Amino acid sequence: MRVREHEDLRRTHLPVVKSGGKVCGASFGASLPSLIIFVFVLVALAKPAAAQNGTFTLSSAPGGIAFTVGGGGNTYSGQFGTMNALGIGTPAAGVTVIPLSNGALYFTTYRLTVTGLPNPHQAGITAFVNSNFTHPLALFMESCPSTSTCNSSGSFAAMSTIAGAPTTVVPAPGINDQTVIAGLGIFVPDNNGASAFTGLDTARITLTATDLTNRKVFATVEIRLDTPQGETVQNAVSLTLATAGGGLAVTPGSDFSMNFGNVNGLGFGPGAGLTTVAATGGVIYSTPYVLQPAFADFTSTAATIRTFASTNFAHPAILQLRDAAAGPGPYTNIGNTAGTATQITNAAASRSSITRFLGLFVANTNGATAFTGSDAATLTFTLTVP
């Protein structure tokens, strides 16, 4: 895994000898002893010149992706595996995902080692994408320099795709006889509409090691993110519920729960977050709540959200679930089957919250069919992206 490239002995800088304030060159036209001395000196001087060419190697960092070394030791192949813009699921081995507000950052860390430069020479390392993803709006290569911790999105920035203006990976003053860790990331943005992409893609990166003392490039290596397959972008959907300001608490669980507390057919004493709305035959306890749809890599930019009571109350004549776009209503009964599901919207935008009102109708029934006590129902919300 050691690489030694760009070793150009012709460019070895021979030290000059200063004497009496002059620079004295050697004489090649003298006697045989002089020639022997000259050759001896040349050999003696050649040895440290070779030591000026350092070596630059890559290797996997603990917890990072594995590389397969090839190409005579200067290509490192691996992959980030399956990804999605919502950061859903467990990423491939060695890859960490950070869901962001506009996509997801998948990243790994890797080790860079430089040895063999003459003291006090130090090496800087740069990188650029020499073969970018064929879907550059769906996948962005990012880099984290060795001077950062590379464990948050703020440590990563877009990697250059221009050879003449590469991204710094190991900045000045550089390293020598040292191993550092840097980060390699792929940003998968929210990408709905015409540019949506799902499928396989690959990229290649060139890393260049430069002696910062003499500005001499002494090694390059290539990372190929194509082994065994490359990067697979999948579409993803997410729908979460949350508490609205001034509304009843929506508690995450399996999947969410909401407790209206004590209710009665007259609407007395609504709990915190609840208001009552008059209704024929009883009263509606109403609360706002928030729907948070998110989806990525679909050609459609609008989704449909429907809901129905997949498990109805045990006393459906007493308790009913109703839906409204506004607090005062009007409230409509929520269907009890998937086929009669209530459509909340057919224009849900990704990462755009929707405030909706859920009403619990309580009948003011008296007599034999009256009921007091606890009851529960389950609403199933379905987000569908066409």
Partner 1 sequence: MKKYFTIFALGMMALSTAAFAGTTAVNTNTVSPTLQISATIQKAVQLTLSTGTAAVSHCAVTPTGGTPDYTMDFGTVDALGINAGNCNKFNPANPGVDNAIYWSDYNLTPVFTSQTAISGTTITAKVSTDFAAPNNIFIVRDSANSSTVPANAAAFTALSTGTPDTIVGPGVTSGTAQTRFIGVAVKPDNGPTVLNGAQSATVTFTLTVQ
Of the candidate residues 104, 277, 321, 324, the single one contacting partner 1 (CB under 8 A): 321
d(CA 374, CA 358): 18
Residue 213 or residue 264: which is nearer to partner 1 going by CB?
A: 264
Listed in sequence order, the residues at least 6 apart from 63 whose beta carbon sits closer than 8 Å to its beta carbon are 94, 96, 109
CA–CA dist 334, 22 (Å, integer): 98
Residue 105 tokens, joined: 């950052």
Token code pair at residue 364:
């003011």
Listed ranges 13-21, 59-67, 78-86, 211-219: which one lies at the site for partner 1 (CB under 8 A)? 78-86
Coil/strand/helix, residue 47: helix
Out of 110, 298, 331, 357, the only residue in the binding site for partner 1 (CB under 8 A) is 298
Residue 144 interacts with partner 1 (CB under 8 A)?
A: no
Whole-number minimum distance, CB 328 to partner 1, in Å?
21
**Backbone angle region of 85, left / alpha / beta, with phi > 0 → left and psi within -120 to 50 → alpha:** alpha
Nearer to partner 1, 46 or 278 (CB): 278
- Taking the least distance from each CB to partner 1, the nearer of 138 and 360 is 360
State the Cα–Cα distance between residues 207 and 209, nearest whole angstrom: 7
User: CB of 200: closest distance to partner 1 in angstroms?
Assistant: 8
**What residues between 85 and 124 interact with partner 1 by CB under 8 A?**
86, 88-90
Residue 169: name the closest of 298, 84, 58, 6 by CA.
Answer: 58
Tell me which stretch binds partner 1 (CB under 8 A): 11-19, 145-153, 217-225, 366-374.
366-374
Please give the C-alpha separations between residue 164 and each of 126, 160, 204, 246, in angstroms, as whole numbers: 11, 9, 16, 56
Euclidean distance between CA atoms 69 and 60, whole angstroms = 11
Here's the x/- map for partner 1, 46-75, by CB under 8 A: it reads as ------------------------------
Q: Are 357 and 325 in contact (CB under 8 A)?
A: yes
Overall size of the chain counted in residues: 386
Using the rule CB under 8 A, which residue among 168, 264, 301, 355 binds partner 1? Answer: 264
Min dist. Cβ of residue 132 to partner 1 (A): 23
Look up residue 293 and give its two tokens.
Answer: 């749809």
Segment 188 to 217, residues that bind partner 1, using CB under 8 A: 198
With respect to partner 1, which residue has the nearer C-beta, 111 or 315? 315
Q: Which stretch binds partner 1 (CB under 8 A): 8-16, 72-80, 173-181, 227-235?
A: 227-235
The interface mask with partner 1, positions 275-294, x = CB under 8 A, is: -------x--x---------
Site for partner 1 in 237-256 (CB under 8 A): 237-241, 250, 253-256
Instruction: Enumerate the β-bridge partners of residue 111.
Output: 59, 181
Task: Identify the three-state secondary structure at position 153.
Answer: helix
CA distances from 80 to 66, 128, 224, 226, 240 (A): 10, 18, 11, 9, 27
Contact 187, 140 (CB under 8 A): yes
With respect to partner 1, which residue has the nearer C-beta, 150 or 188? 188
Size of site (CB under 8 A) for partner 1? 68
Binders of partner 1 among residues 2 to 41 (CB under 8 A) are none
Q: Given candidates 38, 260, 290, 355, which one binds partner 1 under the rule CB under 8 A?
A: 260
User: Binding to partner 1 (CB under 8 A): which residues in 367-386?
Assistant: 367-368, 370-386
∠184-188-191 over CA atoms, to 5°? 160
Question: Cβ closer to partner 1: 12 or 198?
Answer: 198
Tell me the torsion sign for CA atoms 232, 131, 160, 63.
Answer: positive
**Contact with partner 1 (CB under 8 A) among 55, 57, 79, 84:** 84
Structure token pair of residue 118 = 């003459």
Contact residues for partner 1 (CB under 8 A)?
Answer: 82, 84, 86, 88-90, 198, 229, 232, 234-241, 250, 253-266, 268, 282, 285, 295, 298, 310, 315, 318-319, 321, 358, 360, 362-368, 370-386
